[in-house]
A = this chain, B = another copy of it.
Amino acid sequence: MYHHIKKLMYTVHVDSPDPRFGKMLLEQFGGANGELAAAMQYSIQGLNCEDPARKDLLMDIGTEELSHLEVVGALARLHLKPMKKSRSAGEADPLIAIAGGGGVGLLNSMGNPWTADYLKITGELDVDLRSNIAAEARAKIVYERLINFTDDKGTIDALQFLMTREITHMKAFILALDSMKKNPLEIGKIPPSPGLVNQYFNDSTGKGDYGDDDMRGPWNQGGDWAYVNAPAFQEFENAKEGTRTSNGASGQEELAGPGRSRRT
């Protein structure tokens, strides 16, 4: 059950309303990484969650994001209001000016309606927490960019508040995931195929417009990694080898194609 208090979580002041910046701000009101997306993603994950402790966490943060939605909306409205009357301002976003009368709508910065396609909800708790960590990271960088696009002191203060809270949430989600003590690569219950899982496919090769030779790093060398060079080229060079099947692979380093790996 929800209750609303007639006070913003962070009081907003705007010295110089700037409709074009107000339009940018809508990105965090009705945009893909905005506050409604956060509120809905966490609250609905919470509704589905059967771990009472992390369900509480999801509801805590989901509810806070609703309060943030209200703060961003109040801030955006102060910037957008001149759109109702000023022609040059209205031209910047006629959807706000003409259809919305200068008020906020559930739109992103280019007038796209908010859609639940923005949400990532799987019902698998550790997976959902990973989606949330990424979502908070995205929201943080978007607030940072917004701060860099304005000089209005009051606006910056409010955005700094909201940006800070995203880091708070990110920290909480990371700790909630860590405390599940799962191996990061153990998602769900069915294990991956052991030979195949360590093969790195070098599917983009060559040198040229894009920079140097193939790049190596911890993500494709060392540890258990087997490096499979240009799997498609191998096929091209030896097109009669026969199709790949799920049996018979050996998985030797630098030689194995993916198809030769055996599922066991």
Contacts and interface: CB of A to CB of B under 8 A. Distances in A.
Contact of A109 (B99, B116, B147): B99
Contacts of A3: 2-5, 63, 203-205, 230-233
18 contacts: A2-B2, A5-B208, A5-B236, A7-B208, A24-B98, A32-B120, A44-B106, A60-B201, A61-B203, A85-B148, A87-B149, A100-B121, A141-B187, A158-B246, A164-B197, A168-B197, A205-B236, A207-B239
Interface string A147-191: 111000000011011011101101111111011000011011110
B113 A112 contact: yes
A144 B84 CA distance: 12
Contacts of A192: 163-164, 167-168
Nearest to A10: B244
A27 B95 contact: yes
A49 to B, nearest CB: 8
* Centre residue among A33, A111, A187 by max chain B CB count within 10 A: A187
Contacts of A95: 27, 31, 108-110, 112
A92 B109 CA distance: 10
Contacts of A64: 201, 203
A73 B94 CA distance: 17
Contacts of A200: 60, 168, 172
Contact of A97 (B73, B145, B236): B145
Contacts of A101: 48, 122-124, 141, 145
B113 A117 contact: yes
Contacts of A84: 123, 145
Across the A-B interface, the 5 shortest Cβ-Cβ residue pairs: A101-B123, A110-B111, A48-B103, A7-B208, A11-B243
A109 B113 contact: no
Contact of A185 (B90, B170, B218): B170
Interface string A220-246: 100000000011110110011001111
A168 B202 CA distance: 13
Contacts of A123: 84, 100-103
Contacts of A59: 4, 6, 203-204, 210
A98 B146 contact: yes
B98 A142 contact: yes
A8 B205 contact: no
A11 to B, nearest CB: 4
